[in-house]
Structure formats: structure tokens, C-alpha cells
Structure 1
Amino acid sequence: MSSTPIRVVVWSTGGIGSIAVRAVAENPGTDLVGVWVHSPEKAGRDAGDLVGIGPIGVTTTNDADALIALRPDCVVYAAMGPDRDAAAVPDYVKLLEAGVNVVTTSVHRLIDPAGFEPEVWREQLAQAASAGGASLYASGIEPGFAADHLVLMLTTQSKSITSIHASEIALYDDYPVVETMTDAMGFGRPLDYQALLSYPGTIAFQWGPGLRLIARGLGLQIDEIRENFDRVATDRDLHVAFGTAEAGTCGALRTQAIAVIDGREVITIEHVNRIAPDLGLEWAEEMTQPVYRIRIEGEPDIACDMTASLREPKASGSPMDSGAGAMVATAMRVVNAIPYVVGAKPGLLSALDLPLTLPRHALR
């Protein structure tokens, strides 16, 4: 790879974008040349001041064309919002057509671009990548690694495989977005409330890409994807970041996307989400930080539990917010991939198309 720093723009300064700004600015292998912001209030500020590292001489802007005119090699796209996919795809197309590579945490379903739907969006992205000679790669901690790519890495130890079960077990008491927690997931709602996740096809739509990536990597063909959506009530009022979940309403839930192969359930991607650590114990034991758990039955049986957390300064050595650790991991999955994506053949890439995206200049 070239010793010349890679010119990078970071798109958005939310939680993931701010981490990406800091990581790109601090890495001698990358040159932060621009930062896109959504709100006019953030435009015109020094990006370093905005993300808490002090002035770095890069001024934020909400002018996409001005950023493209800088001719960056890659954009770290981390914009989020209620119309995330519909808003992101046109941005991807514009960047790719201009010859700018894109690494993104925003549209999770692009971890398996071959199955990305709707098909018209996939075709637009593929045509834009071809026209601009650029590539697009999506990742994150989950989806993008813990329940799919890490599974494939672990199977390199397998002689035979009977089943694969990948779980995320997480406490969501500090997640503040009301619409996501109540309308989409159903927390704080009666157990018979029609949460968005409970509609047929939604779970398969969200987590099917991970199942397909695993199957594709192992040379398997999925017959169908089955779904399970289970809830349990809290026995007390819970005062959490999004508001109050009253006793008797949903306090924990479990989603399962299950790939059926050769007539039997073979691969399961499961999420156990709670707003109190002692709820839903029938699905997983009590824990206070996110755990990504993989169980592969076969020869040999393989078990792996992974966490990603931050610590305070070494003088105290005490754990910090574990959710913050997962956010750093999410951002670095794409930031560390930048040189590999820039060096790849043009197109829509998955983890199967890249070598291990090992970090450069990570030793501190």
C-alpha cells in the first residue's frame, strides 16, 4: 500500500462519526480533509473542536459538492436518521459516481450487498461504482462482525458443523431514542402491542444479510428464513433513558432470524435486549455489558464470548460505559478498512471480498 496518507472525509459527527473523525485525524496513514455535518449550526466549525480533541484545521460543512471537490480517496459515511436507507443510497451513488470510495456503518443490510434490497437500489449502487471506479463497504460490530464475520473466522477451526448460534445480549436502559425503543422495539408497551419488529418479514429483513453472508462464506444455500419475536413484562416501573416503562409492559425481548438449510434450522442470529439486567433470564443470564456470544456445534464444538468496553485512565482501572466501547468498535470496523477498500477492485464489497482489515498505526 502507498505510504502517502489516504485522503478521507467523514460524513456526520454523531456518535460513530465523531469517533471516526478522531481516529482518522490521529492516524498518520490517513489525512482528514473534510467533515460533513447535517445542521447549519455545526457548519463552519473546526471539526476537532466539535468532537472534543481541539483544533485540527479542518472546517465542517454541509455542502456535499464542496467535499467531493476535495477529491478524497474515501468517505467514512456514518449519517443516521429515520430515513437512513432512503437518504443514504442517493449519497452513496453520488460519491461512487465521483470516484470516491465509501465505507459505511449506516445501511447495515449492505454487509451482504449481493442480497441487498430493493433490487433497484442495488443496481444503482453497482452502476455508480462501475462508472466511478470506486468501491463501497458496510460494516459495524453487529451487524458486520460479531454475528457474521466473526462466525466465519471461527469456522476456520471446524471439521464439521451441525449448527451455528450467534447472540447479542445487551442492556438498553441508556438508549434515549423514544421512537426506536417504543414503536420499533416495543419497550414500555403492552405485550400485545404491534411493534415494528413484530411484523412478519421485519426480522428477516434486518438480520437476513448476516445469515446470507455466513451461508455464502460456507458455500451453503438457504431454503428460507424463519422468525421468532418474544417478549416478557417488567414487574415494576423502570425509569430509563427513553422514559418510564410501567409494570406489566415490555421490559425485555428476543428476536431470532433462523436460516433453514436442507430442511433444518442451521444458523440462528439472535438478539436479547433488556431495559433491566434481571429480565429475560430464560434467554440469557444477567449481565450489565453487551456480550456477543457464538456457539458452533460440530467437530469440534466452538464457544466464543466477546465484549467491547472502555476503561477509565489506568490509575483507576475501572470499567466505563460498555456501550461506548461497542460504538468505538463499530466505527473502527470501517475506519480500519479504509486502505483495503481503497486498494480493492471497484464494486460493492462484503467481508468475503477483503483480507483481514488489520489496523495500521494502532499501537499506542
Structure 2
Amino acid sequence: MIDNSAGRVHRVVNVGTGLTGTQALRAVIDDPALELVGLKVSTADKAGVDAGRLAGGPDVGVSATDDVQAIMALAPDCVLYCATAVRREPEALADIVEYLEAGINVVTISTIPMVYPSAAPPEWREVVHAAAVSGNTTFYATGAEPGFISLNIPTAVLAGAGAVDSYRMDEYAIDLDKSYPIWEVLHESMGFGKPDGHVPARIAAGKVNHDWETVVRYIADILGLELDSVDLDWETLLAPEDLTTAIGVIPQGTICGHRWQLAGMVQGQPAVAVQYFATVSSTPWPQRWPRPSRHDQGGMVIRVQGRPTMCVEVYFEQMPGDRVNPGVAATAMAAVNAIPAVIDAPSGVLENPLAGPSIVSRQSRTRHS
């Protein structure tokens, strides 16, 4: 194994083998600064299977287990926690607390509001902080969006800002049925194919505020703004005809797209906002909606009005022959790349997004050595 620049190889346990967890697992295996010593799975049929095989590659000599005590006995330097927190946030938080109290550092993509702990639910901050103090360990939550796209990149851009009148990041999930063809998410959570008047579950359940208000408050804090409130507005689009998509036909008159905006308000004006657009294939784009410069490609657009006014666009490109959603891969890499810095950080909860050590990704060395 190639050693990293500090001469240390960190022992890591990966938890979770879903879409993102599998990408994280593959990245840990490929990272010269990390050694995979364990894999925690939640289903008995994966227990005993080699981790390399579960990551879509050759065997690596590490078998998956569904026994948390077996993981604890490995005493790794870090747990990379990628298990889903959808409909099980209390359980995911309890898992993380258990690892921290046992003296194991944790990097996670699962507890989304903790990407900016200052704006996360107070009870989350308190229990994680207490566990980190008890175990003399470090906790860090990251991801893509919310994550490095909505925290790290704006921080860098706003280093060149003077007076800022308004900030908004627009995320475009165009033709989402092709990049994320999971019916439960697109139909049940986002409402595609539901009748007129249906409130998408992520709106009805408060998930938008729960996950993205941390981003709004982080940007407001680094701009020195005191928000009067954080307001949500949203709308849905209805299919003008039957639309053929990768998840089946979206019938005429049912939801084929939606937009929401979460805005931090100052004196009645949106000063800091996050806006999200989601559509399925062939959805007509309303003229009232702003667009990225690449009309047919999803991405993120950061719009800063002020002195100077700035606009930054971020796109993920699908590699030829690669079937993995690049956004999923980027989410996994944000966590994997952070592991050495988190292990070396003082104990406690890391409050701000890591800017990154002098070397962020180690995998390029293996390709050019």
C-alpha cells in the first residue's frame, strides 16, 4: 500500500452499502492513505461477503458483518458512516453516538443538518458533542449538497465579495428520472405522477427546512447577516400530456416537476436563499424559472448580487461507461477525502466545513505512480 504524505495509514470501517455507501467503500479501498479493516452491513445476506465484491471489485480480504460488537473490537481510527437516515434519523444518531463514545472518530454523510452544527437541532448537537467529549473523539458531517457545494464553494467565492445585496444558489435536478430512477423517492418523496394539489412529502414533512435551513444560516453567518426569518415557498408543474420517463409514464395532469425556495429574510427581502428545481424527462420549462447556461443538464448555479456581482456554475459530468451518478460519487468522496483531517483534528464536533488539507484526494497518486 502506498503511504500518504504524513507517513500514516488510517484504519477505517465503512458502514452502509447503499448507493453512496458503495461508492464510499470503493473509494476507501482505493485510497492509499486508508486501510479498510471492516465493513458493517444491516442485512444478513450481505454478512460474510467480501467487501471488495460488495464494492463491485475483486476480493480484498475483509468480510462484511452485521455485528456491531465485532466492529467495535477492531478499534478503527475512524468509522465512515454512510447508512441511510431516511425514516431512521434517531437510530442513525444513536449509532454514531455509540461509535464516538467507544473512542472511534466518525465521518458521516447521513446526518444532513449537522453539516453546520450551529444551525442543527440543539438536541443533535448536544448528544453528539457529549459523546465526542466522552470518547475523546471527533465528529464531522459532510456531503455534496447540502455539503461542500453549498458550503465550501460559496465560502471560496465570497472571499472576493464586497457588499452583498443577495445570495442564492439554484440547484437543477433536470431529467431526474434518468439520473436517479428510484420510484419510491421520485413518486413518494418528490410527488412525480401524483395528482394536482398533492403536497410533495419533502415539503409536507418539513424535510426542506430540516435539511437546507442549515445552509441558509451558514451563508448568512459568514456574511454577518442577522435573519428575521427563513421562509419557504414552492410550486408544482403538471404534465401537459402523458410523459414517457425512465420510471414509467407520468400521466397528463399529474406532477412532472416542482420548485421550492428557502429564503433567509432581512427587512422583508430574501437576502440568502437556496432554490431547487426538479423535473422528469420532457417537462416543458416555465419561462418564469431561471435556467443554467446548460439548459439540458442538471447542476448548481451560485448567484451573488453586489459589488462585485458574481455567478458560478458547477456541473458533474458522467464519464463514458460509468453508470454511477456523479453526484452520488462526489457525495461519497467529500466524506472519504476528509477522513485524515478529521482523525488529526482536536476532539469534539467540527463546527465548520473543512477547507481541506494540503492534499485532498489521494487517489490520483495511485493512477500516476
* CA distance in 2: counterparts of 1:82 and 1:46, whole angstroms: 26
**1:251 is paired with a residue of what secondary structure?**
strand
Matching residue within 295, 299, 303 for 1:291 = 299
* CA distance in 2: counterparts of 1:228 and 1:242, whole angstroms: 27
2:200 maps to what in 1? 195
1:355 maps to what in 2? 355
Shift of 1:347: 1.6
2:279 maps to what in 1? 274
Q: Is it true that 1:151 corresponds to 2:147 in the alignment?
A: no
* CA distance in 1: counterparts of 2:210 and 2:33, whole angstroms: 37
Matching residue within 133, 137, 141 for 2:136 = 133
Q: Is it true that 1:329 corresponds to 2:330 in the alignment?
A: yes
1:345 maps to what in 2? 346
1:307 maps to what in 2? 315
* CA distance in 1: counterparts of 2:198 and 2:329, whole angstroms: 34
1:30 maps to what in 2? 34
1:221 maps to what in 2? 226
Q: Give the letter for the 2:87 counterpart.
A: D
* CA distance in 1: counterparts of 2:202 and 2:117, whole angstroms: 22
Q: Give the letter for the 2:349 counterpart.
A: L
Q: Give the letter for the 2:71 counterpart.
A: L
Shift of 1:277: 4.8
Matching residue within 164, 167, 177 for 1:164 = 167
Shift of 1:263: 4.4
**2:363 is paired with a residue of what secondary structure?**
coil
- How many aligned positions are there? 355
2:250 maps to what in 1? 245
Shift of 1:204: 2.2
Q: Give the letter for the 1:355 counterpart.
A: A
Q: Which 5+ residue runs of structure 2 have no aligned equivalent?
A: none
Matching residue within 83, 101, 105 for 1:101 = 105
Q: Give the letter for the 2:141 counterpart.
A: A
Deviation readout 1:10-32 (Å, 9 max, x if unpaired): 10111111111111111111111
After TM superposition, the structure 1 = structure 2 runs for residues 201-216 of structure 1, keeping only pairs within 5 Å, are 201-216=206-221
Task: State which drifts further: 190-199 or 230-239.
Answer: 190-199
Q: Give the letter for the 2:318 counterpart.
A: L
Matching residue within 78, 83, 88 for 1:79 = 83
Kept in 1: contact 2:78–2:107 (CA 8 A) = yes
Q: How much is the aligned-residue C-alpha RMSD, in angstroms?
A: 2.0
1:261 maps to what in 2? 266
Shift of 1:252: 0.8
* CA distance in 2: counterparts of 1:200 and 1:325, whole angstroms: 28
Kept in 1: contact 2:81–2:109 (CA 8 A) = yes
Q: Is it true that 1:236 corresponds to 2:241 in the alignment?
A: yes
Q: Which 5+ residue runs of structure 1 have no aligned equivalent?
A: 314-319
Kept in 2: contact 1:35–1:60 (CA 8 A) = yes
Kept in 1: contact 2:115–2:214 (CA 8 A) = yes
* CA distance in 2: counterparts of 1:170 and 1:98, whole angstroms: 39
**2:177 is paired with a residue of what secondary structure?**
coil
* CA distance in 1: counterparts of 2:338 and 2:267, whole angstroms: 35
Shift of 1:141: 1.2
Q: Give the letter for the 2:300 counterpart.
A: Y
Shift of 1:113: 1.1
* CA distance in 1: counterparts of 2:6 and 2:69, whole angstroms: 27
Percent of residue pairs identical: 32
Kept in 2: contact 1:48–1:54 (CA 8 A) = yes
Shift of 1:262: 4.7
Kept in 1: contact 2:10–2:35 (CA 8 A) = yes
Shift of 1:306: 0.6
TM-score norm. by structure 2 comes to 0.90
Shift of 1:125: 1.0
